[in-house]
């Protein structure tokens, strides 16, 4: 491009020179300019030379440096600040007001088989200083069961309780009176040999048993927030039990528990003084008192990490018995758990043992058809023979382990397996000393007990709740042929469904596995094993809440009308219905 423009320029100059030679000539004469001839041999190629820049920076040299002298002083003076603290209102959580409390609650119901039900509550309202309550309950039934004696029963309970909230303690206590009545109805009314004996033997009043229980308790519980302080829990319990046949039992239990932290370790000491006496009255109004005392000392220490918990301790027992003398026993107490998967899965293992209190109350609570005084047979392993004395059971060593955790925030589970060795375990057997065979004595045996236990719960807010409990039991006895009246399988399934706080339905399913009872052949010495078959008991209740204060509900028990036996010769009531009205005052 440059070469082309250059050609045009040179051509233009040459043309001007040719066309106007005189002008050129004249100018050269006037100014004396030399004539230049340019001959182009090759195209013009311009070039640009490189530029060299000097990179030297100027330097200024100060021959006389200047150092200024600074002179200053600090003047102290207090500046006053007129600041006043302005109080602010405490924060309040909106949308979560305290629920309204009602002072009383009443239930009244009536059902089939002349079933009468009543229950009432009277309580204090919300207070920071104290709380108290009164509870009354009654349930009775005429109890008509086919082919057996009068099966009517009655249970009445009256309870008082109260609490005082102190600065660093809670003082609580209560008193309770219970009266219950049952009948020894486990005999065949079609047996003429029995019915011919008349009402003096098989009549309603002749087979009646009743229990009167008076009990009370007082407790002092500390609430120290300082981990270096010794927290304590002291409780005193007492009861007096009497029955229709003159038996009287007194129990006095004092429990003291103290604990505190030392660094990261938690130390705990449990002390128990457990006194029990039984009085057996005879027809001559004299009595024989048999006393038994258990003193327990159980120190333990535990430590918790981010993912584990470890407990180690020992249980020391001193048993003082009026008949058997004084004995000592010691049992381990070790427990370890580990949070394997963020509360979802927690495996645990442990070893322990204990001395378990047995009494006429524990016997009659489990089986109200027991003899009074109880006829206790200590089999061939015990030289004492048959005596009216209740012994305590010894869990000499128990190994257990399992898993527990949560599938989610709404569900949880617990599965465990245990193996226990128990000395002097009690079993109910039919008393054959009378022709009616409608009461139970007790036999002792040493056993090995294996158990698989499972629990599961699920809830969806307050709308739906589900719970499952299951136990599979295996008993290995030393002397008895079977573990009498101990079910092999026990399952419970309960569910509740709430529809808009208006209708509430609840269902319960109970399953009892096979059981075995002990009888004797006609010769009176050969043991006969009687199988009590497994059974299912289905119960359903439906509640309708007419208002917040008034509701109605219907209970349907043993819907399948199953005739099952919890104890030998004692069938359960079949289908029965109960309607209830509730009102809040």
Nearest to 419 by CA among 354, 482, 474, 485: 474
Total H helices, total E strands in the chain: 5, 28
- 21 vs 65: CA distance, rounded Å: 75
Would you put residue 143 in left (φ > 0), alpha (ψ -120 to 50) or beta? Answer: left
pLDDT in tens, 455-478: 999 998 778 999 999 999 999 999
Q: Give the pLDDT confidence score for residue 192 in this predicted structure.
A: 85
Q: Which residue has the tokens 């109910």?
A: 428
Q: How many CB atoms lie within 10 A of CB 391?
A: 22
Which tokens belong to 573? 């009531």
| DSSP of 329-370 | EEEEEEEEEE--BTTTBEEEEEEEEEEE---HHHHHHH-TTB
483 close to 515: Cβ distance less than 8 angstroms = no
Neighbouring-strand partners of residue 123: 133
Residue 134 burial (C-beta neighbours within 10 Å; 0-12, 13-18, 19+): middle
- 293 vs 253: CA distance, rounded Å: 10
257 close to 286: Cβ distance less than 8 angstroms = no
- 570 vs 123: CA distance, rounded Å: 39
536 close to 560: Cβ distance less than 8 angstroms = yes
563 close to 97: Cβ distance less than 8 angstroms = no
Block means of pLDDT (10 residues each) for the chain, length 585 residues?
52 52 46 60 66 66 66 70 71 68 93 94 93 96 88 95 94 96 92 85 90 97 89 96 92 96 92 90 57 95 92 96 89 94 90 95 94 67 52 94 90 95 93 86 93 94 91 94 94 94 93 91 81 94 93 93 90 92 93
- Cα end-to-end span (Å), the chain: 112
Q: How many CB atoms lie within 10 A of CB 425?
A: 25
Quick check: helix, strand or coil at residue 1? Answer: coil
Would you give the DSSP letter of residue 284?
Answer: T
- 329 vs 298: CA distance, rounded Å: 12
Nearest to 387 by CA among 479, 324, 477: 324
Q: Give the pLDDT confidence score for residue 382 in this predicted structure.
A: 47
Q: Give the pLDDT confidence score for residue 51 in this predicted structure.
A: 63
pLDDT in tens, 238-296: 999 999 988 899 999 999 999 999 888 999 999 999 999 888 655 444 556 788 999 99
512 close to 488: Cβ distance less than 8 angstroms = no
| DSSP of 416-474 | EEEEEEEEEEEEEEE--SSTT--SEEEEEEEEEEEEEEEEEEEEETTTEEEEEEEEEEE
pLDDT in tens, 220-242: 999 998 888 899 999 999 999 99
Helix (H) or strand (E) holding 139: strand 130-141
Q: Give the pLDDT confidence score for residue 469 in this predicted structure.
A: 96
- 566 vs 572: CA distance, rounded Å: 7
- 417 vs 450: CA distance, rounded Å: 8
Q: Which pTM value belongs to this model?
A: 0.78
459 close to 426: Cβ distance less than 8 angstroms = no
Residue 353 burial (C-beta neighbours within 10 Å; 0-12, 13-18, 19+): buried
């Amino acid at each position: 491009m440059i070469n082309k423009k250059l050609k045009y320029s040179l051509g233009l100059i040459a043309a001007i020179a040719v066309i106007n030679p005189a002008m050129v000539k004249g100018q050269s004469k006037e100014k004396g300019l030399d004539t230049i001839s340019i001959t182009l041999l090759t195209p013009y190629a311009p070039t640009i030379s490189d530029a060299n820049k000097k990179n030297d920076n100027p330097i200024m040299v100060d021959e006389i440096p200047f150092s200024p002298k600074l002179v200053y002083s600090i003047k102290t003076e207090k500046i006053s600040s007129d600041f006043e603290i302005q109080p602010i209102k405490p924060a309040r959580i909106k949308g979560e007001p305290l629920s309204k409390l009602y002072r009383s609650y009443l239930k009244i119901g009536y059902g089939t088989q002349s079933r009468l039900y009543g229950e009432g509550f009277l309580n204090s309202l919300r207070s920071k200083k104290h709380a108290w309550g009164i509870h009354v309950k009654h349930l009775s039934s005429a109890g008509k069961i086919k082919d057996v004696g009068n099966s009517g029963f009655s249970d009445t309970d009256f309870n008082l309780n109260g609490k005082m909230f102190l600065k660093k303690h809670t003082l609580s206590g209560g008193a309770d009176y219970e009266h219950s009545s049952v009948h020894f109805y486990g005999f065949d009314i079609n047996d003429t040999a029995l019915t011919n004996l008349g009402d003096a033997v098989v009549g309603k009043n002749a087979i009646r048993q009743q229990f009167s229980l008076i009990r009370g308790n007082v407790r002092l519980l500390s609430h120290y927030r300082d981990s270096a302080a010794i927290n304590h829990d002291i409780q005193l319990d007492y009861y007096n039990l009497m029955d229709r046949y003159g038996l009287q039992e007194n129990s006095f239990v004092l429990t003291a528990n103290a604990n505190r932290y030392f660094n990261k370790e938690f130390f705990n000491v449990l002390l128990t003084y457990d006194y029990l006496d039984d009085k057996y009255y005879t027809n001559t109004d004299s009595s024989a008192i048999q006393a038994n005392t258990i003193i327990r000392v159980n120190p333990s220490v535990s430590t918790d990490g981010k993912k584990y918990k470890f407990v180690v301790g020992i249980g020391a027992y001193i048993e003082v018995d009026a008949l058997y003398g004084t004995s000592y026993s010691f049992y381990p107490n070790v427990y370890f758990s580990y949070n394997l998967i963020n509360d979802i899965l927690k495996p645990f293992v442990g070893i322990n043992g204990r001395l378990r209190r047995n009494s006429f109350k524990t016997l009659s609570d489990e089986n109200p058809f027991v003899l009074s005084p109880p006829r206790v047979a200590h089999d061939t392993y015990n030289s004492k023979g048959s005596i009216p004395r209740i012994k305590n059971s010894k869990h000499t060593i128990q190994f257990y382990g399992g898993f527990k955790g949560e599938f989610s925030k709404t569900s949880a589970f617990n599965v465990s397996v245990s193996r226990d060795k128990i000395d002097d375990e009690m079993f109910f057997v039919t008393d054959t000393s009378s022709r009616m065979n409608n009461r139970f004595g007790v036999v002792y045996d040493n056993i090995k007990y294996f158990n698989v236990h499972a629990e599961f719960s699920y809830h969806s807010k307050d709308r739906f709740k589900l719970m499952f409990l299951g136990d599979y039991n295996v008993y290995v006895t030393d002397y008895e042929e079977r573990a009498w009246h101990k079910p092999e399988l026990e399952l419970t399934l309960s569910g509740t469904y709430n529809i808009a706080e208006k209708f509430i339905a609840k269902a319960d399913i109970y399953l009892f596995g096979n059981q075995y009872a002990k009888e004797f052949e006609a010769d009176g010495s050969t043991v006969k094993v009687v199988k009590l078959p497994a059974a299912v008991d289905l119960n359903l209740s439906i509640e309708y809440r007419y208002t917040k204060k008034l509701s109605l509900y219907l209970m349907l028990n043993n819907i399948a009308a199953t005739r099952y036996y919890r104890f030998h010769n004692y069938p359960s009531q079949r289908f029965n219905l109960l309607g209830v009205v509730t009102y809040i005052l």
